[in-house]
Amino acid sequence: MTSSETTGRYAVTKTDAEWREQLSPQEYAVLRQAGTERPFTGEYEDTTTEGVYACRACGAELFTSSEKFASHCGWPSFFDPKDSDAVELLQDRSLGMVRTEVRCATCGSHLGHVFEGEGYPTPTDQRYCINSISLTLRPTA
């Protein structure tokens, strides 16, 4: 994903230089270049704190702790976004496979991927596998 692909398409738009200034190199690599953090290294993988998970790039609310579950896959997992309009889903044909990419619907930042039919005991049978570095947890007071 490049900034020319997203400029004007989202409510929050910035130039590539502005994103690089705002985000750390690791955040930029994941959020703006669709990278992935290493499994079992993210700060929210095992977090059980109640609250709202927001996009680290723009602050839009994406997921809540009530939709988070322990998938033991190495990344935070959610069975549904906070609101259906909070994320956008795009077909991802990278790495020689077909997956569904999850992006922030407000700024277009890459969050992770969503998978279906894996047998997790969740209401949606979906696993939103999200990079911790794409999120900021706002604990419930």
Q: Considering only CA atoms, which of 69, 58, 64 is closest in space to residue 14?
A: 58
Average pLDDT for residues 117-138, to the nearest whole number? 96
Q: Global pTM?
A: 0.90
Q: Which amino acid is it at 131? A: N
8 pLDDT above the threshold of 60: yes
Average model confidence (pLDDT) across the chain: 92
Return the domain boundaries, the chain. 3-139
- Indicate the DSSP class of residue 80: S
Q: With pLDDT > 90 as the criterion, what percentage of the chain qualifies?
A: 86
Which of the residues 55, 104, 107, 129 is marked catalytic?
Answer: 129
Give the integer Cα–Cα distance in Å for 126 and 2: 28
- What number does CATH give the domain 3-139? 2.170.150.20
Q: Indicate if 58 belongs to the active site.
A: no
Predicted local confidence at residue 39, as pLDDT? 96
Average pLDDT for residues 104-123, to the nearest whole number? 95
List Cα–Cα distances, 58 to 10, 32, 89, 117, 126, in angstroms.
11, 12, 18, 31, 25
Count how many Cα atoms sit within 13 Å of the Cα of residue 22 in the half-sphere of its side chain: 13
141 pLDDT above the threshold of 80: no
